[in-house]
Amino acid sequence: MHAPTAGNLADSETRTIELFRVTSPSVVHITTSKVARDYFSMNVQEIPQGSGTGFVWDKAGHIVTNNHVIQNADVAMVAFDDQTSFPAKLVGVAPDKDLAVLLIDAPPERLRPIPRGVSADLEVGRTALAIGNPFGLDQTLTTGVISALGREIKSDSGVPIKDVIQTDAAINPGNSGGPLLDRSGQLIGVNTAIYSPSGAYAGIGFAIPVDTVRWVVPELIEHGRIIRPGIAITVASDSMSKRFKLPPGVLILDMPERGNAERAGLRPTRRTRFGDIVLGDIIVAVDDMAVASTSDLTLIFENYESGDVVDLTVIRQGTELVLPVELETLD
C-alpha cells in the first residue's frame, strides 16, 4: 500500500477548499426570537431564543432548516456569509421529519441553491462534509465520512425518522439545519442531531437523508405541511395500549360516521348501555407489514397514496380479520 504523495494531498485539499468556496454562499445563519410585552412598560420587545443553520433551496427564496431550529419562534432572521440579512416568513413545518421551510425576499442573484444528490446509493466510508454555524460562530466546515446508514432517531413529535445518515463529520449546536454534502458538493442530507450526553460533539452526528428532504420540502412549500394518506380514525396512544396490556398494535378509539373506516367494516371502542367498555379493532398489520405502534402505522402509510386500497389485519375480540380499506387524505 503506497503512502499518499504530497501532490495528491494538495489536490484533495484544493477540492475541499473549492467546495467550501462555492457552497458557503448557499448556507445561511438563522437567528430566532420571541415577541414579548414588558410587564411594567407594556413595550413589545424581541427576546433572542436561539440560532441554527439553513440553506437555499431554490431561486424563489425558500430556505430549508430543521423544525427544532424555528420551533416556538415568533421572528426569524436569515443571514448570508457576507452578513447581509433578511427577515424570514414561515412557509411550512414537518415535525415528524424535523424539517421546516422559510421564505425570504432576496435578490435572485443572491440565491444559489445547493445541487441535490441521492441518498439511496450512499455507502459507508464515503466522504461527508458539513457546513454550519456551530455555537453561533461564522460558517464552519467539518469533514469526515459516512459512518453508518439506516439509523433511526426520534423526531420532536415522537415519530421515528428512519434511514438517517450517521456521520463522524463534527456536528455541534448551531449546525442543525445545515447541509451534509458529498465530495462533489451535492446535498446528501440535512444535519439534525448529535448523539452526546453533554450536547456537544462526541463523534456521532445524524442527518436526514436527501431522498426524504426531496419529497417533504415541496409538500411544505405547496401545502405548509405534509399531506398524508391514511385512515380517518382516532387511535389510542401506545402508553394507553400498554397500560391495558393489549397485544402489539393500534387500538381504534373512534371514527367518523359514514367514513372510509366505517364503510370498510372497522369497529371503534364503545360503551354498552350498561356502562361496560368494548374495545375496538386493534390494527396489527397493513398489507402484511407488521404494526406494533402508532409510529409504525404512520410510516407505513407514507409508502402509499390517497385512493390506494390496503388490507388491514385487525384483532377483534380475539379473532383476526382482514379488511380492505381505501386510504384518504389526512390533515
Q: Which of 309, 311, 331, 308 is nearest to 322 (CA)?
A: 311
Catalytic: 176? yes
Phi and psi at 195, nearest 5°, equal: -105, 100
> How many CB atoms are located within 10 Å of the residue 23 CB?
22
SS (H, E, C) 32-96: EEEEEECCCCCCEEEEEEEEEEEEECCCCCEEEECHHHHCCCCEEEEECCCCCEEEEEEEEEEHH
**Options 24, 26, 51, 98, the catalytic residue:** 98
Q: Which residue has the cell 462534509?
A: 129
Contact between residue 310 and residue 303 where contact means Cβ atoms under 8 Å apart: no
Catalytic: 98? yes
**Options 155, 176, 241, 293, the catalytic residue:** 176
**Options 29, 68, 147, 238, the catalytic residue:** 68
Strands 277-278 and 282-286 come out as unpaired
**Vertex 20: Cα angle to 15 and 217 (nearest 5):** 120
| Residues acting as catalytic residues | 68, 98, 176
